[in-house]
Structure 1
Amino acid sequence: MQNAIDAIFEELGTVKQISPVYKTKSWGFEGADFLNCAVSADTRLDYQTLLTTCLSIEKKLGRARSNKEGYSDRPIDIDILFFGADIINESNLTIPHPHLQDRNFVIYPLNDIASSFEHPILKKSISVLQAESPDKSIPHKIQRCLRNPQQELNLNNYNYIAIEGNIGAGKTTLATMISEDFNAKLILERFKDNPFLPKFYEDQSRYAFPLEMSFLADRYQQLLDDIGQFDLFKDFMIADYDSQKSLIFAKVTLSEDEYSLYKKLHSIMYREIAKPDLYIYLYQNTERLLENIKKRGRAYEQDISESYLIDINQGYLNMIKNRRQENIKILDISEIDFVDNRVDYLKLLKQVIT
């Protein structure tokens, strides 16, 4: 059962809750006692991929399915009870599980982690379904607990993480994923509202200074608002940019005199702004960056040159060299896909905490 939970975490998604383990008599045949628990997890998989992955985990853990009718002993059995509030009726999958309300070895552990959840068809909470269960057997709660592997990825030692990277590196995606999995307050740069950005990509020399000044003001105001607001339920914050980003891009785009003025203003404005206690830089090679930019399809980004991306990357590396006293981690993601490959995503998280 622990191996199954570990595999669910590694292949399906974040494990949120695990019920106690219950022991009951075998169901539908004469055999050894059953051990059961219920698990709540967040997944980015669709329900068919979820089913395929669950069957794969069962197979890896030694379950061999047969065409024999009826129930029999098996080392592991992973059932999908609910998929949010979705109702699914397909030839190979029915959700909610059609018999969960009739079996106490399902209802009891489920009630421990989701008592108020409403069955989308029966329109009754799990606690009511347990009270109305036709099953007269009483599952025996055993003392041994199952470990949640999520707890080994402890990011709560940090109050404020900033993720940076070149254009198209994936910083917003990674910040969003971490905020969802660790209940963090998410701070995303509001670049879409900047009217100078499309103009800048058309005529950099003309619009560089107003663009960087508008970013300077916007980033300052946003960080002032977001960092200054204490969230009782989310005291861990993660952002997809840092105040130093303004200096890096300004250094590349502005003339020497403009940059000198810009740097003075930046120093005055950000003097009192809290700094992240962990700074992450996502490095991707230029070829991958250009692929990502093309894939996400923002019209005003399609003419970004390779040389511009190289200059931005060098600007970040120079900044990192000058901040050696701070907690900075450079993560090379050129050869991984943390968005569609959870194994890669977990590898990144482990690099962050080590």
Structure 2
Amino acid sequence: MNHDVYISLGSNLGNRKAYLQQAIEGIAMRVGTIVDIAPIYETPSWGFAGEAFLNTCLLSRTYLSPDEVMAQLLQIEHELGRERTPSKGYQSRTIDLDILFYDDRIINTELLTVPHPLLHRRKFVLKPLAAIDEHKEHPILKKTVAELLRTTDDTSPVQRLTDQLSFPAQKSPFLHYKYIAIEGNIGSGKTTLATKIAEDFNAKLILEQFSDNPFLPKFYENPKQYGFTLEMSFLTERYQQMRDQLAQMDLFKEFVVSDYDIFKSLIFSKITLTDDEFVLYRKLFYILYNQIIKPDLYVFLYQNTDRLIENIKKRGRDYEQNISPDYLKKIHYGYLDFIQKNTAINSLIIDVTDLDFVKYYTHYDFIIEKIREN
């Protein structure tokens, strides 16, 4: 899931604006997408005698946990020359990064307290925070940021500057692709990955519409009776969806990403149909397949059979629980056979057996880098 994290930034040493900008670049690289950046405010040092601070705030959208976000912020501070020494109290710093809010969560751990415990007492935090979202409610105090700003006991002057900070130039790793298909066996995570890529890189998302197919549960109960009906149903649905979705390109999206390629129809049908049924099905398939736009990149997510079965059990679809390991292996070999024989297709196989690209950003970044390098 995406999480909204509000982060305060401050600097009172050296080129203060440059440090703020470098921190923003680091947050975009290590934490998540930058959604909004507040103006810059200059304020006296708070809690100690020192040079004036430049302060701002930003909203980032991230997949990281609160502890992971904080760990990345500390690393950015370290790289920008700050060493935190709590025993010495407040002091001047090249950069200061704090989590103000993480969604609406209340967190009290040894590492982290969220919302920030002094947020409501610091005008240099509330001012830029209000510029981003004055209606954001404090989950403990039950007051909006605007209300906290009006009632704070901090009377220190806060001056808004005309200087502005820039959004990071986020170069997409998919600039040379117009259409990417994410494929894989049942339970491999293709839908999750396609959705994450679409959200993070401004892509049009096409998800396979299979959940309402009335023949799927019947097929798992009686494959011989419902095999041909199911495969024809899938083929017509996939063909119609791809034809309609790929013909209607979104001008505000960078590219298209889907969680399937229509060729999977032929892969699955070869396993589920009798020889005679498959011969007929293949003729009908190629009539439709030749009319469909092909992906510029075909990404196949490999997971071993044990991990696939584990994932299938976790997502809890009743009609999938009796899928046999032998059936999954046949599907796997069908995909590999397709990739090996269709050398004209730009294919990329990524082993995700030991990866959890939802829980760990580094795993997700590994996959993105593989696609970038392809």
Which TM-score band applies after superposition, normalised by the shorter structure? 0.7 to 0.9
Asked if the contact 2:37–2:58 (Cα under 8 Å) also holds between the matched residues in 1, the reply is yes
Q: Which residue of structure 2 lines up, in the alignment, with residue 118 of structure 1?
A: 135
Q: Does 1:56 align with 2:77?
A: no
Q: Which residue of structure 2 lines up, in the alignment, with residue 13 of structure 1?
A: 32
Q: Does 1:175 align with 2:175?
A: no
Query: Normalized against structure 2, the TM-score is what?
Result: 0.78
* CA apart distance, 1:134: 5.9
SS at structure 2 position matched to 1:81: strand
**Equivalent-residue separation in structure 1 for 2:313 and 2:185 (angstroms):** 14
- Aligned with 1:136 (options 148, 157, 170): 157
Asked if the contact 1:24–1:105 (Cα under 8 Å) also holds between the matched residues in 2, the reply is no
Asked if the contact 2:35–2:58 (Cα under 8 Å) also holds between the matched residues in 1, the reply is yes
Which amino acid is 2:159 matched to? Answer: I
Structure 2 counterparts to residues 128-207 of structure 1, below 5 A? 135-140=156-161, 148=168, 151-207=170-226
- Aligned with 1:335 (options 354, 366, 369): 354
Aligned-pair identity (%) = 45
* CA apart distance, 1:137: 3.4
**Equivalent-residue separation in structure 2 for 1:101 and 1:179 (angstroms):** 39
Which amino acid is 1:220 matched to? Answer: Y
SS at structure 1 position matched to 2:180: strand
* CA apart distance, 1:343: 0.6
SS at structure 1 position matched to 2:86: coil
Asked if the contact 1:14–1:42 (Cα under 8 Å) also holds between the matched residues in 2, the reply is yes
Structure 1 pair 193–277 and aligned structure 2 pair: CA distance change class (3 A): same
**Equivalent-residue separation in structure 2 for 1:87 and 1:293 (angstroms):** 30
Q: Which residue of structure 1 lines up, in the alignment, with residue 324 of structure 2?
A: 305
CA deviation map 1:71-102 (0-9, x unaligned): 33345432233444x37586974538764695
**Equivalent-residue separation in structure 1 for 2:41 and 2:297 (angstroms):** 41
Which amino acid is 1:56 matched to? Answer: A
Q: Does 1:34 align with 2:53?
A: yes
**Equivalent-residue separation in structure 1 for 2:25 and 2:101 (angstroms):** 20
SS at structure 2 position matched to 1:207: helix
- Aligned with 1:268 (options 287, 292, 312): 287
* CA apart distance, 1:109: 7.9
Q: Does 1:350 align with 2:365?
A: no
Q: Does 1:239 align with 2:234?
A: no
* CA apart distance, 1:195: 1.4
Which amino acid is 1:189 matched to? Answer: E
Structure 1 pair 274–319 and aligned structure 2 pair: CA distance change class (3 A): same
Indicate the structure with greater strand content: 2
**Equivalent-residue separation in structure 1 for 2:199 and 2:210 (angstroms):** 21
SS at structure 2 position matched to 1:79: strand
Asked if the contact 2:57–2:125 (Cα under 8 Å) also holds between the matched residues in 1, the reply is no
SS at structure 1 position matched to 2:195: helix
SS at structure 2 position matched to 1:190: coil
**Equivalent-residue separation in structure 1 for 2:83 and 2:196 (angstroms):** 32
SS at structure 2 position matched to 1:230: coil
Structure 1 pair 203–339 and aligned structure 2 pair: CA distance change class (3 A): same
* CA apart distance, 1:5: 4.7
Asked if the contact 2:134–2:144 (Cα under 8 Å) also holds between the matched residues in 1, the reply is no
Asked if the contact 2:40–2:128 (Cα under 8 Å) also holds between the matched residues in 1, the reply is no
**Equivalent-residue separation in structure 1 for 2:223 and 2:253 (angstroms):** 39
Which amino acid is 1:339 matched to? Answer: V
Q: Which residue of structure 2 lines up, in the alignment, with residue 103 of structure 1?
A: 123
Asked if the contact 1:163–1:239 (Cα under 8 Å) also holds between the matched residues in 2, the reply is yes
Structure 1 pair 26–328 and aligned structure 2 pair: CA distance change class (3 A): same
Query: Normalized against structure 1, the TM-score is what?
Result: 0.81
**Equivalent-residue separation in structure 2 for 1:17 and 1:327 (angstroms):** 37
Structure 2 counterparts to residues 211-226 of structure 1, below 5 A? 211-226=230-245
Q: Which residue of structure 2 lines up, in the alignment, with residue 288 of structure 1?
A: 307
Structure 1 pair 102–136 and aligned structure 2 pair: CA distance change class (3 A): same
Structure 2 portions without partners, runs of 5+: 1-18
SS at structure 1 position matched to 2:33: strand
Q: Does 1:257 align with 2:276?
A: yes
RMSD: 3.3
**Equivalent-residue separation in structure 1 for 2:329 and 2:114 (angstroms):** 51
**Equivalent-residue separation in structure 1 for 2:304 and 2:186 (angstroms):** 11
Which amino acid is 2:302 matched to? Answer: Y
